Amino acid sequence: MGEAQAGGTELSRQSPTTAPGADGPPWRTTAARVLVVLPAYNEEQGLGVLLRRLDQSMHEDGFPYQIIVVDDGSRDATARIAADHARHMPIQVERHEVNQGLGATIRDGLRVAVSLARDEDVIVVMDADNTHTPGLIRNMIRVVREGADVVIASRYQSGSYIRGVPLHRKLLSLGARFLFPARCTPSQARRTRRRTSD
């Protein structure tokens, strides 16, 4: 082809893809990191499997993540299993020397998570016994990105089901529902928001 004539218009053709290392378009926000809090008490049977499932799920979904395991004075190998997995994945292990109960363990895990979180990060609380499905985290994060501050996944909602929980624990949970109607919910995801006081 000949040279462009004077006064002609030359169109620039650029690839719409973002080159590696480029900043990207101005409206794109930093990817949210998922901080997973796992309160654990004598969970040596299920914890290792759960940690590996979490790592695989976060890898497949492309989420950067950090796991906080709070060992509530376990007498089994819970802390050692968490420490062993921390050599291969981002895990911070916190430990209570004596058992303080689930409430205190979740509280301490949330305190650590909030201290590590940025404004766009999402904090997830799960049981450490491998009865929750890590693959559902992506759905919860989508709802948070759509504007929710807190997302609760409950096994008691219509259409839900319980899998991997022994019969005696199902019966115990059912009995607790009748004794304590204001029940605790198993998995939660929440957006971190920092508040400043005047």
Residue 46 in this model has a pLDDT that exceeds 70 = yes
- Over range 187-194, report the average pLDDT: 51
Give CA–CA dist 153/17, Å, rounded. Answer: 36
Percent residues over pLDDT 90 in the chain:
51
What are the tens digits of pLDDT across the range 8-24? 545 444 444 444 445 67
DSSP 45-72: TTHHHHHHHHHHHHHHHT--EEEEEEEE
Residue 194 — pLDDT band, cuts 50, 70, 90?
very low
How many CA atoms lie within 13 Å of 113's alpha carbon, on the beta-carbon side?
30
Rounded to two decimals, what is the model's pTM?
0.71
The whole-number pLDDT of residue 83 equals: 97
Q: What's the first-to-final CA gap in the chain, in angstroms? A: 68
CATH 3.90.550.10 fits 34-191, yes or no: yes
CB 70 within 8 A of CB 151: no
Q: How is residue 24 annotated by DSSP?
A: -
Give CA–CA dist 67/125, Å, rounded. Answer: 10
What are the tens digits of pLDDT across the range 155-183? 666 665 555 555 555 455 545 455 444 44
DSSP-derived pairing of the beta strands 91-96 and 65-72: parallel
Which tokens in the block code for residue 114?
């909030």
Residue 56 in this model has a pLDDT that exceeds 60 = yes
Residue 189 — pLDDT band, cuts 50, 70, 90?
low
- In DSSP terms, 71 is beta-bridged to 40, 95
Q: How is residue 90 annotated by DSSP?
A: -
What are the tens digits of pLDDT across the range 97-110? 999 999 999 999 99
